[in-house]
Amino acid sequence: MPRFSDNSQERLDSCHPDLQRLFKEVVRGFDCSVLCGHRSKAEQQKVFEQGLSQVQFPNSKHNITPSRAVDVPPYPIDWKDLPRFHLFAGYVLGIANQLYQRGEIDHRIRWGGDWDSDTLTSDERFRDLPHFELGQSRPADEVVG
């Protein structure tokens, strides 16, 4: 069974508990690596300048403590294998939906390959395929189960 390396686990530990819960479940069935959880001002500026982020510090969900975003690609990483990123995202979003429905996480999850969550990826101007972030939180009056 896959598990996170110490580096991946340390990065995941910088994230919101819902993201930690989600990816601890995901890695059990689909090997993956955590590239980034929380980002400092310098780290955010660097990824912005490289064109890997659309926003500057402090406007990224990576800049909040704990981080409300995480970058997790399937492992081993092959940046050219786009179908595998889409397959992985579907797996992550499926697990996230199950955890949300069971009341084990309190947020919907949004993927950087489908920012508007309409299940269409062709309408996105900016694709950040390893990016997952907290979306809408559970309404206070919603009954689980």
In a domain, 144, yes or no: no
Q: What is the CATH number of the domain that holds 27?
A: 3.30.1380.10
Q: Which of 65-69, 92-96, 127-131, 135-139 has the lowest mean pLDDT?
A: 135-139
CB neighbour list of residue 28: distance below 8 Å, 6 or more residues apart? 1, 2
Q: How far apart are CA 73 and CA 34, in angstroms?
A: 7
pLDDT of residue 38: 98
Which of 54, 67, 64, 32 minimizes the C-alpha distance to 112? 54
- Quick check: is 85 in a domain? yes
pLDDT of residue 143: 75
> What pLDDT band is residue 140 in, cutting at 50, 70 and 90?
confident
The answer to whether the beta carbons of residues 66 and 14 sit under 8 Å apart is yes
Percent over 90 (pLDDT), the chain: 94
Percent of the chain topping pLDDT 70:
99
Cβ atoms of 95 and 25 within 8 Å: the answer is yes
22 within domain boundaries: yes
pLDDT per residue over 19-70, tens digit each?
Answer: 999 999 999 999 999 999 999 999 999 999 999 999 999 999 999 999 999 9
* 100 belongs to a structural domain: yes
Q: Does 80 reside within a domain?
A: yes
Q: Look up the domain containing 26 and give its range.
A: 6-137
130's CB contacts (< 8 A; 6+ apart) are 35, 71, 72, 73, 85, 112
In this prediction, residue 145 carries a pLDDT of: 66
User: How many domains is the chain built from?
Assistant: 1
Task: List pLDDT tens digits, range 108-121.
Answer: 999 999 999 999 99
